[in-house]
């Protein structure tokens, strides 16, 4: 069978595309060099890991352009009969390939600049700032940005046009390898990719912190883990004291920013930290939580306190680190615990860490409590997936029993730190018979019943009953402190990881919006020797650690380890920051500005409401009022990144 003239012309086009994408692979690799430099670590394994990501991800970034251009080629040259002239088809395919590769290179160049300046990769947060009126100004960028981008794109188009011209020119035929190289290159890259993923899997299984930090250097890196498989193979999973300490420029985090200076108190204070799952602000009443209310009457109660997140992960992270939620991902990758735990361990505190949930999800065993010994961690992982409606309150009682026993049998020559995470108020809101203080309440908690036309106030009543039971366990711990005589030497904190909504503003539960019901939580802080008071000013979970550290003898300024303020000082806030997996919300006295920040949130929109979640009649004027806070947030999100400028 003889090829037509147009069919014969397709083969040179295909050969030129092979050459062009090989040359473009080299160009993409050059644009990826900043990420290679950032990820590079000494050592054969670490060096292989960085080099393998560099080689495979240079191809990965090029893959969409190759697939789209290949599809255009097959479509245009596969038409029978051809409806477009051969020359026009060739121009379309070449133009498509050239534009797409130049766009990929431009994204990589911009990403490397964003990483250098702000410490995170190009994501929807940056996209939103650029696309929102006033967003560029809030980042401190001038009017030359469009011109700079235009010049960069033009330069990249010239580079790609040169590669395409050399691929087409016969005078350079001798410089291009034979076509069979592509049949060796692809399998070789696949093998390198397999080796790279195996290296990450083994590093993750052994919590090799220095190796794991390299993964974040490359945009869109998708690691694979196999911790369960590693355990089955008998590999040791390191944690706590076995974890290496990360120092200096071996980490993309700069946390703390300065060494922690501690003047150990002669009479150190104990700490009891009690957190209720989904415990929102208005549950703290004399009727619902009488024991906690009584504590608040003789302590400091913060009436306008906000969690750092609308879910457990960001809420607990913000209260232990004093940092905003977007830092979570870096701390998880580096297995970096908070300096608060380091200070407690250095002073030989006895640890009693309890949860009626699990420490492995969210991954608090690899973040907040990464440097706490396994023997001091007590969770309820064995029955976590049980569908029993009484598991939550029973686990709360069980762990409260253990805490009371700990308080009465501990070594009294050492100070202690107790943390408890209560699950009674977790959906489906658990409580035993006899603990109901609000009736009627929803008794049928099947999904079928909740999917029907049910009354949200009945579900809310059930929640309040579970909060009442939670309070009884708080009361038991407070009574134990009184009985052992430890009350006079113990800091007590009672708060919630986040709130809970019951269709007040169209949502149920949490993790969905930044409505007050989902993020406004109680905070009761009892410090020996302090006078009781109620504070009606904005406060945040990020303020808890800066409040505790001076009481533990830390001399550093809070800026060295946190973005929060000492609640016992004279600082006042004009806004708080709340985060979820892919967004942050800036809440001030008047407005609430929500912007996307995570890499998976490109389609999220900026949302601006009143402080109380109502629509705004003049959004442009409101945005101008809160825009400076956006710039401040950008600075706070880079303050603890290595190599970035600190303000």
pLDDT for 129: 52
What tens digit of pLDDT does each residue of 288-324 get? 999 999 999 999 999 999 999 999 999 999 999 999 9
Burial of 158 (0-12, 13-18, 19+ CB in 10 A): exposed
Separation between Cα atoms, residue 97 and residue 154, nearest integer Å: 15
Separation between Cα atoms, residue 36 and residue 51, nearest integer Å: 7
Separation between Cα atoms, residue 59 and residue 51, nearest integer Å: 13
Are the C-beta atoms of 575 and 308 separated by less than 8 Å?
no
Are the C-beta atoms of 299 and 492 separated by less than 8 Å?
yes
Are the C-beta atoms of 331 and 314 separated by less than 8 Å?
no
pLDDT for 175: 73
Separation between Cα atoms, residue 67 and residue 73, nearest integer Å: 10
pLDDT for 139: 43
pLDDT for 131: 54
Q: Is pLDDT above 90 for 73?
A: no
pTM: 0.69
What tens digit of pLDDT does each residue of 81-93 get? 666 777 888 888 8
Choice between 229 and 611, residue whose per-residue pLDDT is larger: 611
Choice between 631 and 573, residue whose per-residue pLDDT is larger: 573
Helix (H) or strand (E) holding 159: helix 145-168
For strand 533-540 and strand 300-306, is the pairing parallel, antiparallel, or unpaired? parallel
Contacts of 433 (CB under 8 A, 6+ apart): none
What tens digit of pLDDT does each residue of 206-264 get? 656 556 667 777 887 776 655 545 555 555 544 434 333 323 233 479 999 999 999 99
Least confident residue range of 67-81, 214-228, 456-470, 573-587: 214-228
DSSP-derived secondary structure for 240-299: GGGSPPP-GGGSSB--SSSPPPB---SSPPEEEEEEETT--GGG-STTT-HHHHHHHHTS
Burial of 249 (0-12, 13-18, 19+ CB in 10 A): exposed
pLDDT for 37: 87
Burial of 293 (0-12, 13-18, 19+ CB in 10 A): middle
**Beta bridge mates, 421:** 275, 355
Q: Is pLDDT above 90 for 132?
A: no
Least confident residue range of 323-337, 406-420, 596-610: 596-610
pLDDT for 478: 98
Q: Is pLDDT above 80 for 355?
A: yes
pLDDT for 418: 98
What tens digit of pLDDT does each residue of 388-425 get? 557 789 999 999 999 999 999 999 999 999 999 999 99
DSSP-derived secondary structure for 395-422: HHHHHHHHHHHHHHHS-TTS-EEEEEEE
- Both tokens of 613, joined, read 């979640």
Instruction: Output the furthest CA–CA distance in the chain (Å, rounded).
Output: 99
pLDDT for 208: 60
């Amino acid at each position: 069978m003889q090829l037509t003239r147009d069919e014969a012309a397709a083969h040179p086009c295909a050969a030129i595309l092979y050459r062009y994408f090989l040359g473009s692979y080299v160009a993409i690799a050059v644009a990826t060099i900043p990420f290679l430099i950032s990820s590079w670590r000494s050592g054969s394994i670490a060096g292989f890991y960085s080099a393998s990501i560099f080689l495979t991800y240079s191809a990965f970034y090029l893959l969409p352009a190759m697939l789209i251009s290949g599809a255009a080629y097959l479509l245009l040259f596969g038409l029978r009969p051809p409806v477009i002239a051969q020359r026009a088809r060739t121009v379309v395919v070449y133009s498509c390939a050239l534009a797409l590769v130049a766009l990929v290179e431009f994204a990589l160049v911009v990403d490397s600049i964003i990483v250098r300046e702000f410490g995170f990769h190009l994501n929807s947060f940056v996209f939103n700032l650029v696309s929102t009126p006033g967003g560029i100004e809030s980042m401190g960028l001038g009017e030359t940005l469009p011109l700079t981008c235009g010049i960069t794109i033009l330069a990249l188009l010239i580079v790609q046009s040169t590669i395409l011209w050399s691929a087409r020119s016969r005078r350079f035929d001798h410089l291009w390898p034979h076509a069979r190289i592509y049949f060796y290159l692809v399998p070789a890259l696949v093998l390198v990719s397999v080796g790279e993923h195996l290296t990450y899997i083994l590093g993750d299984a052994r919590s090799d912190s220095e190796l794991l930090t390299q993964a974040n250097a490359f945009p869109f890196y998708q690691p694979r883990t196999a911790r369960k498989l590693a355990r089955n193979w008998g590999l040791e999973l390191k944690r706590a004291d076995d974890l290496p300490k990360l120092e200096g420029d071996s980490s993309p985090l700069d946390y703390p920013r300065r060494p922690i200076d501690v003047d150990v108190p002669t009479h150190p204070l104990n700490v009891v930290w009690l957190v209720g799952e989904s415990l929102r602000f208005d549950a703290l009443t004399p009727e619902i939580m009488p024991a906690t209310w009584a504590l608040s009457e003789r302590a400091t109660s913060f009436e306008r306190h906000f969690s750092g997140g609308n879910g457990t992960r960001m809420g607990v992270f913000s209260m232990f680190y004093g940092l905003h939620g977007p830092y979570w991902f870096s701390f998880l990758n580096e297995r970096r615990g908070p300096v608060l735990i380091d200070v407690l361990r250095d002073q030989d505190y006895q640890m009693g860490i309890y949860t009626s949930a699990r420490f492995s999800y969210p991954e608090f065993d690899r973040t907040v409590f990464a440097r706490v010994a396994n023997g001091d961690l007590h969770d309820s992982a064995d029955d976590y997936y049980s569908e029993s409606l009484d598991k939550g309150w029973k686990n709360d009682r069980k762990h409260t029993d253990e805490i009371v026993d700990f308080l009465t049998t501990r070594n009294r020559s050492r100070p202690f730190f107790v943390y408890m995470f209560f699950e009674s108020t977790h959906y489906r809101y658990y409580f035993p018979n006899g603990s109901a203080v609000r009736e009627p309440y929803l008794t049928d908690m099947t999904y079928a019943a909740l999917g029907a036309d049910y009354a949200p106030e009945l579900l809310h009543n059930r929640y309040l009953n579970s909060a009442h039971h939670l309070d009884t366990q708080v009361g038991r711990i407070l009574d134990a402190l009184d009985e052992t005589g430890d009350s006079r030497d113990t800091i007590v904190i009672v708060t919630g990881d986040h709130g809970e909504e019951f269709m007040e503003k169209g949502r149920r539960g949490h993790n969905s919006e930044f409505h007050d019901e989902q993020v406004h939580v109680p905070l009761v802080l009892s410090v020996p020797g302090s006078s009781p008071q109620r504070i009606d000013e904005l406060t945040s979970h990020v303020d808890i650690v800066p409040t505790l550290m001076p009481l533990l003898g830390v001399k550093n300024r809070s800026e060295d380890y946190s973005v929060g303020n000492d609640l016992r000082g004279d600082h006042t806030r004009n806004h708080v920051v709340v985060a979820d997996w892919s967004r942050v919300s800036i809440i001030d006295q008047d407005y609430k500005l929500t912007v996307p920040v995570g890499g998976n949130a490109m389609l999220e929109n900026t949302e601006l409401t009143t402080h109380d979640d109502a629509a705004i009649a003049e959004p442009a004027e409101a945005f101008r009022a809160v825009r400076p806070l956006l710039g401040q947030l950008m600075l706070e999100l880079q303050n603890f990144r290595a190599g970035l400028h600190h303000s």
